[in-house]
Amino acid sequence: MAGMGMTLAALAVRHGCELRGDPDVTVDHVATLAAAGPGALAFLANPQYRPQLAATRASAVVLDAQSADACPAACLVSSNPYLAYAHMAADLHPLPPPRPGVAGSASVAGSARLGTGVQVDAGAVIGEGAVIGERAIIGPNAVVGAGCVLGEDTRIMAGVVLGDRVRIGRRCLIHPNAVIGADGFGNARGPGGAWTKVPQVGGVMIGDDVEIGALTSVDRGAIGDTVIGNGVRLDNQIQVGHNVTIGEHTAIAAQVGISGSTQIGARCIIAGKVGFAGHLTVADDVVISGGASVTRSIGKPGVYGGAIPADEARQWRKNAVRFGQLDQLVRRLHALEAALGRRGAK
């Protein structure tokens, strides 16, 4: 879908790119190299797609200097083409502005405070004492619990549920059906194995410029707060347990599970399906590969992993048997080493 048109000259100046081509060419939407046509802006950041460059019909391509000579269209040359493309795509496809007003079927508590230009859609519920910042959007059927505080320009999409006393900063985006501030999983075991629920009396505190994906859950703290720092990116279907702390600008992919009281540092990258045991600490600038199981703290920056890649089924079954024999093999190895040591001593 076409957005607002901009000349290549304007994009180059705005985003600090070298322009190779006609500065008056206008682009009004983004597209892939293979699907682009006239008026489209495409990009090349992954060398895997380099073969598609020669045949592209895009009006312009964002790429690096090494690829520019092979481009048949106008070029916007950047040392970080993906980042430059992200900024340009936002220019061409801006988010729709809020439509100020409260839908007739919405329910807004009398003690709630709504800033100037707030949009509250059909079926939304805003609880007692909630404070909604200017130009915020509360989507259809979303629930904002009592005492919640939302910053300016934050967008709460359809079906999102914010529990009581959740605090969200400015310019955040919470995607549909995310749940922020549900009770954490706190239970004490008593006689006979019966469970007693531990009251979850903390909250959730989310910084500025945070994006949280669809169906992701962030539990409230048991006593203190669960904290998500500025600029964090959470993908869809992530579980963040109670009293977890996530440092600024960390990005976490889908289906990650973070057990309670884990502390993840700043600028980390967590790939999909990683699992964290509770009460761990992860340093700043850590990368964890997909499917890893993190069972102890990580004290220094680096790349960590632990998943076993998929294999042909017959080979996998053989290896699975051998995995179960590792302890026995280690014991035999130690015995052999000890026997050889005794022989050497003689």
Q: Which residues are catalytic?
A: 242
Q: Give the pLDDT band of residue 258 (cuts 50, 70, 90).
A: very high
Pairing state between β 233-234 and 263-264: unpaired
pLDDT digits (tens, 9 = 90+) for 120-172: 999 999 999 999 999 999 999 999 999 999 999 999 999 999 999 999 999 99
pLDDT at residue 194, as a whole number:
96
pLDDT at residue 242, as a whole number:
97
Percent of the chain that is helix, strand, coil (3-state, to 5): 20, 30, 55
Those residues whose C-beta lies under 8 Å from the C-beta of residue 170, and which sit 6 or more positions away, are 133, 151, 152, 153, 154, 208, 209
Residue 132 carries which DSSP code?
A: E
Percent of the chain surpassing pLDDT 70: 98
- Give the pLDDT mean for 260-281: 97
Give the rounded distance of the alpha carbon of 341 from its chain centre. Answer: 54
Q: Give the pLDDT band of residue 247 (cuts 50, 70, 90).
A: very high
Side-chain-side CA neighbours of residue 22 (13 Å): 9
Side-chain-side CA neighbours of residue 172 (13 Å): 28
Per the structure block, which two tokens stand in for 337? Answer: 């080493």
Q: Give the pLDDT band of residue 77 (cuts 50, 70, 90).
A: very high
Those residues whose C-beta lies under 8 Å from the C-beta of residue 231, and which sit 6 or more positions away, are 207, 208, 209, 210, 248, 249
Specify the pTM. 0.90
Q: Taking all residues of the chain, what is their mean pLDDT, rounded to a whole number? A: 95
Those residues whose C-beta lies under 8 Å from the C-beta of residue 24, and which sit 6 or more positions away, are 7, 8, 9
**Residues 325, 274: Cα–Cα separation, whole Å:** 26
- CB atoms near residue 134 (< 10 Å): 16
Closest among 214, 333, 227, 234 to 274, alpha carbons compared: 234
Per the structure block, which two tokens stand in for 80? Answer: 């970080």
Percent of the chain surpassing pLDDT 90: 92
pLDDT at residue 345, as a whole number:
66
Q: Are 259 and 241 in contact (CB under 8 A)?
A: yes
Query: How far is the CA of 287 from the CAs of 58, 257, 293, in angstroms?
Result: 35, 16, 13
Closest among 105, 85, 70 to 40, alpha carbons compared: 85
DSSP 191-228: GGG-EEEPP----EEE-SS-EE-TT-EEEPPSSS-EEE
Work out the end-to-end distance of the chain between its first and last CA atoms, rounded to an integer number of angstroms: 83
pLDDT at residue 308, as a whole number:
79
**Residues 113, 102: Cα–Cα separation, whole Å:** 12
Domains of the chain: 6-92 (3.40.1390.10), 99-167 (2.160.10.10), 187-309 (2.160.10.10)
Please name the residue that has the structure tokens 């990683």.
274
- Does residue 304 sit in helix, strand or coil? strand
Per the structure block, which two tokens stand in for 205? Answer: 């505190």
pLDDT digits (tens, 9 = 90+) for 186-215: 999 999 999 999 999 999 999 999 999 999
Amino acid sitting at position 257: G
- Does residue 313 sit in helix, strand or coil? helix
Q: Is the pLDDT of residue 3 over 70?
A: no
**Residues 2, 273: Cα–Cα separation, whole Å:** 35
Q: Are 272 and 252 in contact (CB under 8 A)?
A: no
- Give the pLDDT mean for 44-55: 94
